[in-house]
Amino acid sequence: MISDKIVSWHTSYSISIPLIDTQHKELINLTNKLYQSCMEGRDKSRDVFMEVLRGAVDYVGYHFGTEEKVMERVSYPGYGAHKKEHTNFVKEVLKTADDLSKGINPNPLGFVYYLRDWVLTHIAVSDTLLGQYLVKLRQQGHLQNITLRVKQVADRFIIG
């Protein structure tokens, strides 16, 4: 029997920041939805895949925006490198989405594996470092006056 998931959330992925952990769980859910669309019938899977991919692209932007706003607010020393990882990933995802929509890349499943591997590696390395930094600041009492407001307006998210 083929699994309906390519990845499952595990507590070892937690960076101990609930807002970001919740968003990481959603990225994993979206990766699984993309995987599931690849497992459906050929004609249906392309349409479903592209629809889910558009939602994933929007959510990735929202999530990265959240992380970057947090990093700015706390003057995170790794901000520049972390943001560059986000920028490069978004470029790759947008290029792949464009290629898929034009029929240039006939392998959406390969993209799903890439997405899974990138997200898990990014969480394990870059986001874990950010989480450790934030936990340290919290333990030192430096996060008491820092708030992050995230609100949804229609289908868009505003971080302020």
Q: Is 50 exceeded by the pLDDT of residue 152?
A: no
Structural domain contains residue 1: no
Structural domain contains residue 8: no
Higher pLDDT residue, 149 or 60? 60
Instruction: Tell me which residue range forms the domain holding 92.
Output: 16-159
Model pLDDT for residues 18-60, shown as the tens digit of each residue: 889 999 999 999 999 989 888 876 666 677 778 888 888 899 9
Structural domain contains residue 11: no
Structural domain contains residue 30: yes
Structural domain contains residue 2: no
Q: How far is CA 103 from CA 2, 12, 108, in A?
A: 26, 37, 10
Structural domain contains residue 10: no
Q: Which residues, including other chains, have CB under 8 Å from residue 132's CB and lie 6 or more apart?
A: 15
Would you say how long the chain is, in residues?
A: 160
Whether the Cβ atoms of residue 108 and residue 49 lie closer than 8 Å to each other = yes
Structural domain contains residue 3: no
Model pLDDT, residue 151: 46
Phi/psi of residue 123, nearest 5 degrees: -65, -45
Model pLDDT for residues 61-110, shown as the tens digit of each residue: 999 999 999 999 899 999 999 999 999 999 988 888 888 878 787 678 88
CATH number (domain holding residue 91): 1.20.120.50
Identify the bridge partners of residue 159 per DSSP, sorted by sequence position.
150
Structural domain contains residue 5: no
Work out the average pLDDT over 14-20. Answer: 90
Q: Could you give the number of structural domains in the chain?
A: 1
pTM: 0.84
